[in-house]
Amino acid sequence: MNFLFYILLLNFLILFSCFTFLIKKKIWNIYSYPTKIGRKIKPRKVYSALGIICILGTLISFVIYIQLNNYEINDYYYFLIFLIFSTFIGLLDDLLNLDPYLKLVIIFFICLFISFSYFTGVTEVRDKLYFLITIFIILIYFNSVNFIDGSDGFLLCHIIFFIFGSILVISNFKVEILENYSIFLIIFLSALFAFLYFNISGKMIIGNTGSFAAAFILSYFAVLLIRNNLTYQFLILAMYPLIDVSLSLLNKIVTRKNLMKKDFCYFFLKPIKNQGATHNFVLIRYTTYNFLNFIALYLSIYMNALMGLFISFIISSILILLYEKK
């Protein structure tokens, strides 16, 4: 943990200054425009793809931390390579609007890598089945993280609470590999805090560049949790995005809509799309939910894991019903 506080502080200050400079000088040329489907989700064009700056700041700070503490960067080699690749794909999507089916194929292979990284050498039928289930869950979760960036602050709120929850889990289950990767999560957290004000105020979004990178980071850490018998804790951390996106996609299948069409059908966007609610309205409810979900996570650690999972499912379902009714 040597130098970590100074690295976090420096990362925050540099990125916050960078975002402020970009707004004042208006030199960023990648925008997100209002949707033409239904009500406008964005009232005006906003700066997009700023996730690349968050990721660059995090990567540089993480490498500096490794060098200062004489750690082996080779231990994180594949993780960093695929993180850069995921960020690059997201940036291409922001710039070129990639074909949805191509993105799905790319995401599938990224999720395959994430899952395979820590399930190599499985021989038992039960373990192989567990591996397949893991790929399926991670594929859904990766897409869920990518899909929930349609409201100011919503995705960042999820990532922040996921990281805080992960830190709580790590502090109680002393697993070396989780502790090693937690440093990266903490540094990433400082970058998100630098970006949070600009995102909530509707001035900037991380775009697909940031959502792809965040999806990879969280999914990779999710597999680490699953591989170390902390599946219930991961499901609690990921509960709302998993339920919302799964139900929304299931509804598309039932109503025979195009699964790949971006029509903002997710429950958390319905108050904005259908009833004209503000983004702050959606975010306040989701923040409140995350505090309650944090209690469910706490119960899963200190009392009973299954009970915590059940409580998380119930409050996630209640939130979906509230968004449905506004």
Residues 252, 166: Cα–Cα separation, whole Å: 32
Give the pLDDT score at 311: 96
- Residue 52 CB contacts under 8 Å (≥ 6 apart), including other chains: 87, 91, 209, 210
Q: pLDDT tens digit string along 103-112?
A: 889 988 888 8
Give the pLDDT score at 25: 86
Tell me the CA distances in angstroms from 241 to 149, 155, 162, one per residue in order. Answer: 11, 10, 11
Residues 199, 175: Cα–Cα separation, whole Å: 34
Q: Under a CB-based contact definition with an 8 Å cutoff, are residues 234 and 222 in contact?
A: yes
Residues 166, 116: Cα–Cα separation, whole Å: 21
Longest pairwise C-alpha distance within the chain: 59
Query: What percentage of residues in the chain have a pLDDT greater than 90?
Result: 42
Q: Under a CB-based contact definition with an 8 Å cutoff, are residues 23 and 8 in contact?
A: no
List the beta bridge partners of residue 31. 47
Q: Under a CB-based contact definition with an 8 Å cutoff, are residues 79 and 33 in contact?
A: no
Give the pLDDT score at 36: 46
| Locus of tokens 């021989």 | 123
Query: What percentage of residues in the chain have a pLDDT greater than 70?
Result: 85
Give the pLDDT score at 250: 86
Does pLDDT of 18 surpass 90?
yes
Mean pLDDT (whole number) for 182-199: 94
Q: pLDDT tens digit string along 72-88?
A: 888 888 899 999 999 99
- When the pLDDT of each residue in the chain is averaged and rounded to a whole number, the result is 84
Considering only CA atoms, which of 234, 206, 233 is closest in space to residue 220? 234
Q: pLDDT tens digit string along 261-290?
A: 666 677 777 776 666 666 777 788 889 999
Q: Confidence class of residue 39 from pLDDT cuts 50, 70 and 90?
A: very low
225 or 36, greater pLDDT: 225
Q: Is 258 helix (H, G, I), strand (E, B) or coil?
A: coil
Mean pLDDT (whole number) for 161-165: 95
Give the pLDDT score at 176: 85
- Residue 193 CB contacts under 8 Å (≥ 6 apart), including other chains: 12, 160
SS3 content of the chain, % helix, strand, coil (to 5): 75, 0, 25
65 or 256, greater pLDDT: 65
Q: So where are the chain's domains?
A: 4-29+47-325
Mean pLDDT (whole number) for 87-113: 89
Identity of the amino acid at 156: L
Give the pLDDT score at 151: 60
